[in-house]
A = this chain, B = another copy of it.
Amino acid sequence: MTNTSNKMIKIGIVGYGNLGKGVEMAISQNTDMELTAVFTRRSPESINSKATVYNLSEIENFKGLIDVMILCGGSSKDLPEQVIQISKHFHTVDSFDTHAKIPAYFDEVNRSSTENKTLSLISTGWDPGLFSMARLLGQCVLPQGEDYTFWGKGLSQGHSDAVRRVVGVKNGVQYTIPLEDALEQVRSGSNPKLETAEKHQRICYIVAEEGADIVEIETTIKTMPHYFAEYQTTVHFISEEELLKNHSKMPHGGIVFRSGTSASGSKQKIEFSLELESNPEFTSSVLVAYARAISKMSKEGQIGAKTVFDIPLGYLSPKSAEELRATLL
């Protein structure tokens, strides 16, 4: 006989920034899950979580006690280091979001998790994640057409993380903003050819360290590959006070359009959009739903690296397949 507590999906959080905090909140909204422990590289005492907090060095002691580890570090440095170590012992879910580096990241994680017979979902959240799924679906259903992804207006976690890692930057945020002209062209149905950089601008608000070379900072940001190099980027230097006052909320959103035609010439349009008051809390909600899927799939014996393209949607739900067919189909 299994008791209720054995049926609960046991989650560990690695890294307790905005994303880690969001995961703790999201777990509290899912009655089939519990947060077993938080792991941090910082001093555990400094972490304000309702769960027990451990130093990351203790993580291996939890082998067999945690069903899925949700890795909440940044994509530039944390995740590539941590996922290889942690996937040796645990099933993992992460939100690695450097699109251009995903293939190499996938291969490394796949090698490690296959070797260690664990299951790892990489690059979930909303983009990569739900938006990727909307793009894929649009292209498969309407093979003759164009798709367009617009982000914002919103504060981008990945890009803010990237600017904060620049030498001389004390704090900073980055907003992604759709270019109005581009939105209008797409809505007109004219199916324009638009590169990502022709659809958005990036605006950074930076607090520099005392005595830092702000010209150097601006150049480093504007030339950063994958993140800023190809965009119309503006860098504003502001005081820490102003940053905290005006830029501490993290709204985001965006739209994925697929605008296609059937063979007869009928116009068909698919639109998937998000309007988020809190970007990290939403990303966390997605990570938690996918942790449920990884828990179920690992129990079936699946191993290796996966992406959102490999996960049947039914696995995201706490409901049975029968219940889903009866109530949601």
Contacts and interface: CB of A to CB of B under 8 A. Distances in A.
A164 to B, nearest CB: 22
Nearest to A284: B262
Interface string A17-49: 000001001101110000000000000000000
A110 B326 CA distance: 15
A136 B310 contact: no
A317 to B, nearest CB: 5
A262 B275 contact: no
Given A262-B282, A273-B271, A314 B325 contact: no
A111 interface: no
Nearest to A251: B266
Interface string A235-270: 000000000000000000000000000111011111
A142 B266 contact: no
Nearest to A30: B143
B281 A275 contact: no
Given A312-B309, A312-B311, A22 B278 contact: no
Nearest to A281: B262
B322 A103 contact: yes
A309 B285 contact: no
B317 A140 contact: yes
Contacts of A322: 103
B278 A316 contact: no
A329 interface: yes
Interface in A119-135: 123, 128, 130, 132-135
Contact of A268 (B139, B143, B277, B289): B277
Given A262-B25, A311-B312, A326-B102, A268 B286 contact: no
Interface in A273-329: 273-278, 281-282, 284-286, 289, 292, 307-314, 316-317, 321-322, 324-326, 328-329
B285 A141 contact: yes
A52 interface: no
A205 interface: no
A45 to B, nearest CB: 23
The copy count of this chain in the complex is 2
Nearest to A305: B325
Interface residues of A, number: 65
A277 B263 CA distance: 12
Q: Determine which residue in A277, A326, A329 has the highest number of CB atoms from chain B within 10 A of its CB, and name it.
A: A329
Given A264-B281, A268-B282, A316 B132 contact: no
B266 A277 contact: yes
B309 A264 contact: no
Contact of A144 (B29, B272, B314): B29
A61 to B, nearest CB: 28
A150 to B, nearest CB: 14
A144 to B, nearest CB: 5
5 contacts: A25-B263, A140-B289, A262-B284, A273-B273, A307-B324
The 7 closest A-B pairs by CB, nearest first: A309-B314, A266-B278, A25-B263, A262-B281, A266-B277, A140-B316, A269-B275
